[in-house]
Structure 1
Amino acid sequence: MTRTDPPAPGVPETAAVPETAGVPETAGVSEAPPSAPARARRAFRRWRRTRPFWAALWMALGGFVIFFLPMAPLGKILQVGVGGVAGMAGGVVIMAMALLVLALPGQRHTAGTIAVIAGVASFPLSNLGGLFAGMALSVLGGAMAFGWLPEKPAKRPGGLLRRRTRATDGTPASPVSVGSGSV
């Protein structure tokens, strides 16, 4: 499609510039909607960023190692006694704290602290803390959960301070004082 304007004097008609010069050919074509796996990946990424996901993953792996490393037939566990059961209970507690951190990110401090304590307690209770690997992963995940902070919200205009508007006579108003209540 060419312009309907006549060409400038001295310019042949065959040199007329099409209207779409400089515009990419795909400008009028809309993109195809993302596929189902791409949408699912984006949704998972959004969900993951609102929680201490990696902390929960490390805690769960540490609890898994602590729980399943001493696994033996029930007869052997009963012969070992309370020590074998206590080690397995520590692994279950750590895995439960990993689920708690994912389900309730607001409880991350409590869950992280309990995971660190259970991970360190697994050292004497469960085969040297799952041969050190489970203990290290549990402590790492618990510390990450404790230190995780949610994404900062966007700044709101106005900030935290309340300001009074100017008085009607044009003089500035006194600042608002929120103190001990004394006048």
Structure 2
Amino acid sequence: MTAEPPPPPPAPSSTSAVRRARLAFRNWRRTRPFWAAVWTALGGFVIFFLPMAPLGKILQVGVGGIAGMAGGVVLMAMALLVLLLPSQRHTAGVIAVIAGVASFPLSNLGGLFVGMALSVLGGSMAFAWLPEKPVGRRRVRLGRGTA
């Protein structure tokens, strides 16, 4: 009678690692205004890259092209700020809305209205977002005694 060694533990499958990563990302995403940052960054991307053209076209566009690129960079920075510092969401949301509206006269009608609309949507979502309150104990109201 020989004792057989116990079988080795099963190797962790890649699906469990992917699932853990997905759940960790979901938990992180729910603690900040994720979709507000996505819409703001997308609006900034459209406003930033719409004036991009060959050098001859940029020289014809002039200051409008530079203002559009600067507005797009500001919007993408506000999206990162909203993601990384959710406590600053009010300031970043207001700046994103102002930069989105300012892109209308400064940069090809605000990225042909698409970039402006996305940045205003994202900025207003960031301003309105509230963190989820943790589930706490129920408060017991003490009634007035009839003594």
| Structures share fold, TM-score greater than 0.5 | yes
Q: How does 1:155-174 map to 2 (within 5 A)?
A: 155-156=136-137
Give secondary structure in 2 for the equivalent of 1:71. coil
- 2:52 maps to 71
- 2:132 maps to 151
1:133-182 Cα distance to aligned partner (Å, 9 max, x none): 000000000000000000102325769xxxxxxxxxxxxxxxxxxxxxxx
Larger relative helix fraction: 2
1:97 aligned to 78, 87, 95, which one? Answer: 78
Q: Unaligned stretches of 5+ in structure 2?
A: 1-11, 141-147
Cα offset, 1:80, TM superposition: 2.1
Give secondary structure in 1 for the equivalent of 2:133. coil
- 1:133 maps to 114
Cα offset, 1:73, TM superposition: 2.4
Q: How does 1:1-183 map to 2 (within 5 A)?
A: 35-156=16-137
Give secondary structure in 2 for the equivalent of 1:153. coil
The letter for the 2-side match of 1:137 is L
TM-score of the superposed pair, with normalisation by structure 2 = 0.81
Work out the number of aligned pairs and report it.
131
1:79-118 Cα distance to aligned partner (Å, 9 max, x none): 3221110011001100000000000000000000000000
- What percentage of residue pairs aligned between the two structures are identical? 83
Q: Unaligned stretches of 5+ in structure 1?
A: 1-31, 160-183
The letter for the 1-side match of 2:73 is V
